[in-house]
Amino acid sequence: MTFLAPSASPVAPARTVLHWHVHGSWTTAFVQGRHTCLLPVLPEGGPWGGGRPAAWDWPDRAEEATPEQLRERADEIDAVVLQRPEEIELTERWTGRRPGVDLPAVFVEHNTPKGDVPTTRHPMADRDDIPVVHVTHFNALMWDTGRAPVRVVEHGVLDPGDRYTGELDRAAVVVNEPARRGRVTGTDLLPAFADTVGLDVYGIGSGRLGEAVSHPDIAIGGDLPQDRLHTEMARHRVYLHPVRWTSLGLSLIEAMMLGMPVVALATTEAAVDVPAAAGVVATDLRALHEGLRTFRDDPVLAREAGTAARAAALARHGVGRFTDDWEQLLTEVIDGRVDGDPAPRPPHLVSAV
């Protein structure tokens, strides 16, 4: 696996990029860049043609385009940002151009590998013409990407503002599909955590949590619109991140930006993304329970940790850094420089094996 270092380059012209709306929060950050983003739309919608989502406020340069319009504008498209293997064939069918061959392409991998993790091979592993872009360094470490060039562009998150009040001596939890995903999202851990501090659980499918666990001090917050969710989260004394095995949850970053102290399992990227001053990150459940108790009982300490969490999240995951990184990467891919001789980079940011 080779990690490619970016090379310094002047400000590039705005480009036209084809990509699908797959991950709402990630795409919300991506469309903040300078580029025109063409989003495929089909009459029936669905995973291959959903276009712009109604629930998000995106800039006008995020444009919907039917397959017919993509064919007409094929020569305008500078690159395609793939997120699912099926999009390779769709791109060729709808534009007449082949990703990685006569259309510059990258593949964004949002997820941790599944199955036999140390040997899980990425779908792009047998190609060297489509770089794989991971959203965390942990994911890049764990996927077997074979011959594919590898980059890491860490998440960018729009700042929701410092809303922390901590008025509720309870913990907020945000997980999607906690009943279906079970141990992956740490759903089985929630009753024991609720013995320590009351929990309010939010997220897609949270209404079905009772099918998996039950506890008198676990309340269902539901699947709320993002702005309202942020306000409700920030009323809680502490944010609990019980996830065992997913990519770095954007709700964790959002909680930190809200000014919330964090108690999190030291798994995947959370193990290095949350500084010690921002909360408690551990694999020892006793330490996690003690962290919840401490923040519940000491509002002043909780606010201090939340202030540190917000500063850390803004520094590492600000949307400006994210769009700058993507602009540089897309420029290199479009100019055919991504597989060239990389510029020097600090040792902690680049390696090759």
How many CB atoms are located within 10 Å of the residue 68 CB? 9
Helix axes of 285-297 and 299-317: crossing angle, nearest 10 degrees: 110
Helix/strand/coil (H/E/C) assignment for every residue in 164-217: CCCCEEEEEEECCCHHHHHHHHCHHHHHHHHHHCCEEEECCCHHHHHHCCCCCC
Predicted pLDDT of residue 346: 32
Q: Name the residue among 224, 279, 282 with its Cα closest to residue 253.
A: 279
pLDDT the model gives residue 171 = 98
Half-sphere exposure of 61 (CA within 13 A, CB side): 15
> Do both 337 and 313 map to the same domain?
no
Residue 334 sits in the same domain as residue 294: no
Instruction: State how many domains the chain has.
Output: 2
Identify whether 163 is part of a domain: no
Q: Are residues 334 and 310 in the same domain?
A: no
Residue 162: inside a domain: no
186, 128: one domain:
no
User: The whole model's pTM is what?
Assistant: 0.90
302 in a domain, yes or no?
Answer: yes
Examine residue 100 and state whether it is found in any structural domain, yes or no.
yes
Residue range of the domain that includes 192: 168-317
Are 10 and 150 in the same domain?
Answer: yes
Contact (CB, 8 A) for 206 and 175 = yes
Question: What is the structure's pLDDT at 341?
Answer: 34
Q: What is the pLDDT of residue 188?
A: 98
Tens of pLDDT along 119-164?
999 999 999 999 999 999 999 999 999 999 999 999 999 999 999 9
Helical axes 226-234 vs 250-257, angle rounded to 10°: 60
Does any domain span residue 161?
no
Question: Would 269 be classed as within a structural domain?
Answer: yes
Whichever domain contains 203, its CATH number is 3.40.50.2000
- Are 177 and 152 contained in the same domain? no
102: its two tokens: 């006569």
Tell me whether residue 262 is in a domain. yes
**What residue ranges of the chain have pLDDT lower than 70?**
1-12, 338-353
Shared-domain flag, residues 146 and 173? no
pLDDT of the residue at 337: 76
Same domain? For 136 and 209 the reply is no
